[in-house]
A and B are shown apart, each in its own frame.
Chain A
Amino acid sequence: MNLVGSFFRSSIGRKILMAVTGVILIGFVIGHLVGNLQIFSHPDHINGYAQFLHQLGPLLWVARIGLIVAVVVHIWAATVLTLENKAARGSNYGFKHTIQATLASRAMRWTGYIVLAFLIYHLAHFTLGAAQSATFKDNLKSYVLTADYRVAGFPVVNAGTKVADVYSMVILGFQSPIVAVFYIIAVGLLSLHLLHGIDSLFQTLGLRSNKWSGCLRKVAIVFCLAYFVGNLAIPGAVLAGKLSPQSAKISAPAQR
């Protein structure tokens, strides 16, 4: 088998594809969360950040296409492997028993389905404006930056630039309790997915052993909890009324 064949056709090759695309997607969700946590700062930050990302132009599309490819390969590999796994059992056991497989590992398929459904809604909501379009950034009053947005000390978006009001879009979006709760459930399940995913990818890439598997597990648990709490904070703060959109802010400046 040639190299491409061994990655796409062999069992271990497909698992390596799962692991590598998983690493890419974990990297993305970390960056995405860190970027979004700027919502707890002045609206200049997240709005300037969003403008900065859009200014990347072709680079933004390189990243987007890379992520789409990673998602597609991840789902393709998961589907093919799962179908093979079902066929490999043949007839099912009459007495079903689990010795030590974790809940997270056994729920991978279901957490995956729900995270995918959430991903589609999330893109429709915040990227495409197909869901909750009344509060989509293009339909909101634009925001004028009061200070330069800086990346690594360099101003990348200047003060006075009219930008999309992502700050208000996010807050208005999460003021719908159904959307916020769905978001919280989905990131919770994503955290559970990542708990097994992180452990699993080190094993698949051959980097896990009894010398540090306990440590790896603890790091994965702490990471997943931190990831969940970080994601919970945004809709949580909106539901608790700690964050309010621009329009409300202008009328009640004392809130900040």
Chain B
Amino acid sequence: MVAASSTKSISVTLRVWRQSGPKELGQFKDYSAKDLNPNMSFLEMLDVVNDELTARGEEPIAFAHDCREGICGTCSLTINGKPHGPGKGIATCQTYMRSFHDGDIIVVEPFRAAAFPLIKDLVVDRTSFDKIMQAGGFITARAGSAPEANGLPVPKGDADRAMDAAQCIGCGACVAACKNASAMLFVSAKVGHLGLLPQGQAERDRRVLAMVNTMDEEGFGNCTNQYECSAACPKTISHDFIARLNRDYLSASLRSAFRPEAASTGGGGA
């Protein structure tokens, strides 16, 4: 959670991963950030450091950011080994300098995963998440305007759990935190939120098979049930969704192995 407010200004040393391009060699470089307002966010602190670098004629540190209010999933950064910094249930943009102490050395690295190739410094390409979504993270139906709310009854418990999963902002912290760079928490949240709702039932089997297949193809690792992902998730999405994904995948595999295909889509015959 967000650290308590403070007024005492602090100075820290940033040990930042600098890498000028995907093919270049990267290395850590130290920068001192002095007299920081403790209530500035981590990203604002980087802005200040970048201003100084620019004024000195040095290349500013490249980092990804957008909404800066914890809902877009653009900001990343692994801060002292933990994606999104020391707080629980917050993104880097919601991490404030008061979470650190005066004189701290703060190690800032990109999200490291083969499936998230590095673009520059702290910016990685998370297109592989988009590919997983394109494989089945949607409902193939005309959405139109919102239907009559009572037309499709959803039990409160299911709706709540679906919303828990739907909180996923697709930032990739689960992959970055996982010992194996596995995307299981992300995929399980996406499969889970649609699988819990009536609208998601028609394509439930196809969805889980396709999304897991794409996840494997994109080169993510395999879950070893250590739950680093849910601990790092800025939306505190539970690894219970991973158990649900495993169960869904097993039953979908069994069903799809025996389900006949329509003649028009290549089935029929003998």
**A residues engaging B (CB < 8 A)?**
1-3, 6-7, 10-16, 81, 84-85, 87-102, 105-106, 108, 196, 199-200, 202-210
Contacts and interface: CB of A to CB of B under 8 A. Distances in A.
B249 interface: yes
A11 B222 contact: yes
B41 to A, nearest CB: 21
Q: How large is the interface on B (under 10, 10 to 19, 20 to 34, 35 or more residues)?
A: 35 or more
Interface of B: 15, 17, 26, 28, 78, 80-82, 107, 109, 112-115, 177, 179-182, 209, 212-213, 215-216, 219-228, 231-232, 238-240, 242-250, 253-254, 257
Contact of B226 (A7, A87, A105, A202): A105
Given A88-B181, A105-B224, A10 B107 contact: no
Contacts of A106: 179, 226
Given A84-B221, A88-B113, A98-B228, A3 B179 contact: no
27 contacts: A3-B254, A10-B216, A12-B212, A12-B250, A16-B250, A84-B222, A85-B179, A85-B224, A88-B219, A88-B222, A89-B112, A89-B221, A93-B78, A93-B112, A94-B17, A95-B81, A100-B227, A100-B228, A101-B227, A108-B224, A200-B225, A204-B246, A205-B250, A206-B248, A207-B243, A207-B247, A210-B240
A87 B219 contact: yes
Contact of A206 (B221, B228, B243): B243
A93 B179 contact: no
Given A10-B216, A85-B181, 7 more contacts: A1-B213, A88-B219, A93-B78, A105-B225, A203-B246, A204-B246, A206-B243
Contacts of A91: 26, 112
Nearest to B240: A209
Given A94-B28, A102-B226, A89 B243 contact: no
Contact of B247 (A199, A200, A205): A205
B47 to A, nearest CB: 23
A1 to B, nearest CB: 7
A15 B246 CA distance: 9
Instruction: Give the residue among B15, B238, B246, B257 with the most A Cβ atoms within 10 A.
Output: B246
A95 B254 CA distance: 42
A101 B232 CA distance: 12
Contacts of B244: 206
Contact of B246 (A16, A105, A210): A16
Contacts of A7: 253
B253 A6 contact: yes
Nearest to A88: B221
Given A89-B180, A95-B80, A99-B82, A203 B225 contact: yes
